[in-house]
Every structure is written in structure tokens, then in C-alpha cells.
Amino acid sequence: MTEIDKNLKYRLTENVVSREIEGEIIIVPLTAGIGDAEDDLFSLNETGKAVWGYLDGTHSVQEIIDLLEKKYDSEASGITDDVTGFLNELLSRQIIEAV
Amino acid sequence: MEVIPESAELSLSGENLLKLMKDVHLKGGSLRFTAKGYSMTPSIRHNDVITVSPLPDRDLIRGDIVLFRKEKNSQIVVHRIIEKRSSNYLMRGDNSDESDGWVTGNMIYGVVTGIERNGRTKFCAGMVDNFFIHAILLKFYPFIMNLRRKAVKIIKLFRNKKDLNGN
């Protein structure tokens, strides 16, 4: 697993379509021009959505962690692991890229 | 690390599927999903996986299978063009005796360029232009298919709020 640099900012790649549908964020990666709603469609839970909103290329990973720490009044270590793990998942699926 | 892949299901209506498809088409991509219904049998069977692509540069022709909105009830369906007059199209499901009526070109959102059944491709973009094949299908197999609800996977990539609060 790639080590996430907390100073980096991330944004969605060009090959991703996301849309909020009935309260869910639906993510469809485009692979070779195909958005595969059959085998490759994703959604996030509530906290995943909170992170997703910051993946606009303007917030560093550390800033996202700080914001979530305040929002959820939770321990930094837990938040850090969750955010970096989440970002690693998205990176491995080529859903996000570093700015 | 608390990254939790978890399968779940979310219903996606034909209307929402259309919104998603439009987003994908805006990026020049095609959308692949499972079709539900029997109106297009045998060309498209219940649970076949179809690929809907952006409208091509060429004119749509009789025999093309397209995703469109019905005039009479606004339902989103995938049917075949059986007649064309100017920019109006008469639609019908291969498994239906009656047509859906005429729709204008701006109610057509995409064209079917792929049909997979049991993991095998049965239809691809090249066949769209093959009027002879379509003429045979039209003669023997009228049809229609509804895009009702699509179950999608949900993967939890993050702990929920309750977990974060340590409850």
C-alpha cells in the first residue's frame, strides 16, 4: 500500500463520474471509455461522503484530517488511519490523483 | 486500518440511471449495466448486460436499439426504432405487438452498442448499421424492455460516524 503524503492535495481523476442519487454518492470509474455500472459501481457511507467533499484539490490530507477531527470530536490517530486508508483505496482504483 | 469493503445494495431507478448515463456520456464514455424486463426478448433478455453509448455522429436508423423517454408516460426504456420520419422515430419492443408511439429525436439519449449474455458478447457496435439483420429481427421478434431498478454494490470505504465517535 502506498504511503499517503499528508501534505498532498487530491482531486478526482478525469475518468471518474460521481453523482449524488437519493442521498448516496455513486461513483463510476471509466475504464477504457466504459462506465461499468454492472461490476464497478461504488457508493460511500456518511463519513466517506464527508471526506469525498474535500477531494477537490484544495485541501491537503492533513487539513482534511484536522477538519474531521473537529467535526467528529474523535482521536487524531483513528481519523488519520481512516482517511489515509480511504485515500489509498481510492488511489488504488484510480479514482483520485494528487494535484 | 478501518477500511471496510462491504457489499450492499442500492436501488437505482431508470430515471437515476439516465442521470448517471448522461454524466458518463458527457465524458465521452458508455455505460454498462444489467437490463431488466422481457419486452426486448430475444434480442435483449432479462438480466442481459447492455452497453449504452452516446448518440453517434450518423443519423439513427430503423433497427437501432436506443434508450429514450416515452412520450405518453415519461418512462425510460430501451426499444428499437421501427420507423423514421424526419426527426421523429416510431419505437417498439421486439416482444411487443404494439408500438410505443412516436418520439422526437431529443428524447433519445443513447444507443445500445453491446449486449452480453452469460458473459458472452451477443451484439456489438458494428451491428448497429446492419439493416438486414435488424429487418429480420423486426419481422420475427417485436420487443420492449423497461429499466426498472438496478441493484448496485455499495462498498464502505470508511468507518461510520458512530464508530468515529467511539460509540
Q: How far is A84 from chain B (nearest CA, A)?
A: 9
CA atoms of B143 and B44, how far apart (whole Å): 9
What residues are paired with A34 via a beta bridge?
A31, B30
Q: How far is A62 from chain B (nearest CA, A)?
A: 17
Spell out the CATH class of A11-98: mainly alpha
User: Can you give the C-alpha Rg of chain B in angstroms?
Assistant: 18
CATH code: domain of residue B89:
2.10.109.10
Put simply, whether A13 touches B (Cβ < 8 Å) is no
Residuewise pLDDT in 10s, chain A (99 residues): 667 899 999 999 998 999 888 888 888 889 878 888 777 778 887 668 889 999 999 999 999 999 998 888 766 667 888 898 889 988 988 899 999
Residue pLDDT, tens place only, B126-161: 444 444 444 444 433 333 334 434 444 444 444 444
Residue B91 belongs to a domain: yes
Residue B7 belongs to a domain: no
Residue pLDDT, tens place only, B5-57: 334 455 567 888 899 899 999 999 999 988 888 999 999 999 899 999 999 99
Residue B164 belongs to a domain: no
Residue B51 belongs to a domain: yes
Instruction: Count the domains in chain B.
Output: 1
Q: What is the span of the domain harbouring residue B47?
A: 13-150
Given the cut 0.95, state whether the ipTM is greater than it: no
Run of H or E including B78: strand B76-85
A88 contact residues in B (CB cutoff 8 A): 3
Tell me the domain boundaries of chain A: 11-98
* pTM over the 0.90 mark: no
Residue B134 belongs to a domain: yes
Residue B54 belongs to a domain: yes
